[in-house]
Structure 1
Amino acid sequence: MIRLKTGLEGRKTQFGVIQNRLEECGYHLGGNWDYHTGFFDRVLNREEGETIYIRAPFDVIAGMLDQDNASIQFKTPYIIKHVVNIGFDSEENSLLTSTFNQFQEPLDKDGRIPDKSKWQEIGVREVNRLLAILE
């Protein structure tokens, strides 16, 4: 994981407004949200079984996340790499199984990121795009 020092931390906005704008730019609400916290993810790179994301976590400071008018406050963004298991699912007996099971757990949810300075630069540039969307 690479934490990014940017101007995003502490910024406030309404969930419904920013969600629509971010989705247009390739961000998606992460699946592990609850009513009081969540994060927006965007794929930066995907090769074979490795995906590098930028993640913009936030807290809900008023309302609940399933409401468009909920107020959110961003926390420190970071770069993360997931390594998924490409291959046959040992639990599956079918000969029709593809080589990738989307429901398998990642082999590594926080894989080592080579060339950290490169990804840090890319991440800061991406957060600057996100900040422009907030304006």
Structure 2
Amino acid sequence: MLEIRSKLEGEKYELNELEYSLKPLGYDIGGGWDYDHGAFDYKLDDENGYMFLRIPFNAVKGQLDKDNCVVELGTPYLLHHVYQRGLDDNVSVWNKTASFNQFSEPQDPDGSIDDKWISIGEKMVKDLEDQLLD
């Protein structure tokens, strides 16, 4: 994980309006949300695991699954998950645990981040600032 300092930190938005602004840019609300916090994710790469630019947020008024929820943005960061390879190599119809163990733990949940992705992430955060802070 690598934080990217931003003028967006601490800014408050109505969640539906924020989602309306970010979805056309390729951001989605990540699957790890709860009623009081979540994040917008932009998948940058899936070549060697997954590389995301993540914009975290916390509910400051209401709950995420309700209308008129207001969220406060946190510090954006790059996140690189490197997944284990070869876990499904020996799966067969007789493997009774396959249906229970279909998702592997990351080999490295905090993989290294190349300078290329840092530059891209910084530019994307700057673009978001330009769009959301005008």
Normalised by the length of structure 2, the TM-score is: 0.82
Question: Which range moved further: 38-47 or 83-92?
Answer: 83-92
* Residues 17 and 68 in structure 1, CA contact (< 8 A), matched pair in contact too: no
Distance 1:80 1:88 in 2: 22
- The one-character-per-residue Cα deviations of 1:98-122 (angstroms, maximum 9, x if unpaired) are xxx973332222111233xx33221
Distance 2:30 2:102 in 1: 16
Following superposition, the deviation at residue 69 of structure 1 comes to 1.2
Look up the match of 1:74: 73
SS in structure 2 at match of 1:107:
strand
Q: 1:38 to 1:91 in 2, by over 3 A?
A: farther
Distance 1:40 1:110 in 2: 18
Look up the match of 1:16: 16
Look up the match of 1:3: 3
- The one-character-per-residue Cα deviations of 1:25-75 (angstroms, maximum 9, x if unpaired) are 11111111111111111011221x322110101110000001231000001
Q: Report how many residues are paired.
A: 127
SS in structure 2 at match of 1:93:
coil
Q: Partner letter of residue 131 of structure 1?
A: E
Q: 1:56 to 1:104 in 2, by over 3 A?
A: same
Distance 1:82 1:68 in 2: 32
SS in structure 2 at match of 1:86:
coil
Q: Unaligned 5+ residue runs, structure 2?
A: 95-100
Check if 1:42 corresponds to 2:42: yes
> Considering only aligned residues, what root-mean-square deviation do their CA atoms show, in Å?
2.3
Q: Percent of pairs identical after alignment?
A: 39
Look up the match of 2:84: 85
- The one-character-per-residue Cα deviations of 1:83-108 (angstroms, maximum 9, x if unpaired) are 1223243783239xxxxx97333222
